A = this chain, B = another copy of it.
Amino acid sequence: MDLSVFFAGTGGSVPSARRGLPGLLLRRGGDAVLFDCGEGTQRQLVRSVGLTDMSHVFLTHFHADHWLGLPGMLKSFELRDRDKPLTVLGPPGTRKLLESMRFVYGRLKYPFEIRELDPHEAVRFDDWAITPFAVAHRGPVSFGYAIVEDVRRGRFDVELAASLGVAEGPDFGRLERGETVNGVTREQVMGPDRPGRKIVLSGDTSPCEALRVAAHQADVLVCEATFAEEEAERAALTRHSTARQAAEIARDAEVRMLALTHLSSRYAGGEIRDEGRAVFERTVVPRDFDTIDVPFAEKGEPELVRWDAERAPA
């Protein structure tokens, strides 16, 4: 099962020539879920992977650079005759925000739901879930999100089972379900459970324990790094993180890869990457339209795949 995060916009606050405003598309198999939707996100998608059939939009908080692209996108879906349902989720206040913009997108013909989440209220998908957690930003409440796959059952060792005298067929199923067959137990022929993958998104936040805990041994931590250390004071004042602070969290949480995003327009990216790598080596700074592929741990490391402009639609 493929799992990836696509960066529709990697800037923060103000768009720059290089970086659009926040928007991150999580894709897993046929599922697509968007996190945040800054101004211009719909066009970033149209210019890259297409205005995908995302089923959910999760908002981290209500600063305009994180949601101002949503009313226009809802409207565009309508104009494009969308019929697939869409749910927008976010912290308490999401409904009021969306309703205050209703005059922009009007009554929608496709099924449209707004849902407010409490911290730690998991949103279940088939065999995975998205769970918000409260982080430390300005304003009433800001969320980070943990995307976590269910534990995968261990592998059934067919040859071993046969050699222990269990016949292929219904007996295999009974063994898998935990029954003892011919004195052979499940534990003898099935490997240990394997953890699912975990991707954690910080949202906007100053360094906080909640993020560190949520990110524990994540495959990928996507963390804001609005500033470099030279602006540490400004970061503290505005309750954002520096690249070094983000890298310290990644290191302490023992993640497999750290992706820094939400860069202030004053940074090109190299200085943020270098500051992060000085603390945590597997730090990357995606550009707009880059993707991080996240294989199962036994299959390899998460990998930053640079956008190939040749693939862009004409």
Interface on A for B, CB 8 Å cutoff?
13-18, 20-21, 39-40, 42-43, 46-47, 64-65, 68-69, 71-72, 75-76, 79-80, 100, 103-105, 268, 312-314
Q: What residues of B have a CB within 8 angstroms of the CB of A47 in the complex? A: 17
Q: Which residue on B lies nearest to A47, using beta carbons?
A: B17
Q: How many of these chains are in the complex?
A: 2
Is B75's CB under 8 angstroms from A64's CB? yes
Interface centre among A17, A79, A103 (most CB of B within 10 A): A17
Give the shortest distance, in Å, between A304 (CB) and chain B (any CB): 21
Is B68's CB under 8 angstroms from A46's CB? no
Q: Would you give 10 A-B contacts (Cβ < 8 Å), ordered by A? A: A14-B76, A15-B46, A20-B43, A39-B69, A64-B71, A64-B104, A65-B72, A68-B68, A68-B104, A100-B103
Give the shortest distance, in Å, between A70 (CB) and chain B (any CB): 10
Give the CA-CA distance A69 to B41 in the complex, in Å.
Answer: 12
Q: What residues of B have a CB within 8 angstroms of the CB of A100 in the complex? A: 100, 103
Partner of A17, one of B64, B71, B79, B314: B314
Is B17's CB under 8 angstroms from A313's CB? yes
Q: What residues of B have a CB within 8 angstroms of the CB of A64 in the complex? A: 71-72, 75, 104-105
Is A312's CB under 8 angstroms from B17's CB? yes
Partner of A43, one of B15, B71, B268: B15
Q: Which residue on B lies nearest to A13, using beta carbons?
A: B79
Q: Which residue on B lies nearest to A50, using beta carbons?
A: B17
Q: Which residue on B lies nearest to A65, using beta carbons?
A: B72
Q: What residues of B have a CB within 8 angstroms of the CB of A72 in the complex? A: 39, 64-65, 68
- Say whether, besides A39-B39, A40-B39, A40-B40, A16 and B46 are in contact (CB < 8 Å): yes
Give the CA-CA distance A43 to B313 in the complex, in Å.
Answer: 19
Q: What residues of B have a CB within 8 angstroms of the CB of A79 in the complex? A: 13-14
Q: What residues of B have a CB within 8 angstroms of the CB of A313 in the complex? A: 17
Interface centre among A14, A68, A268 (most CB of B within 10 A): A14
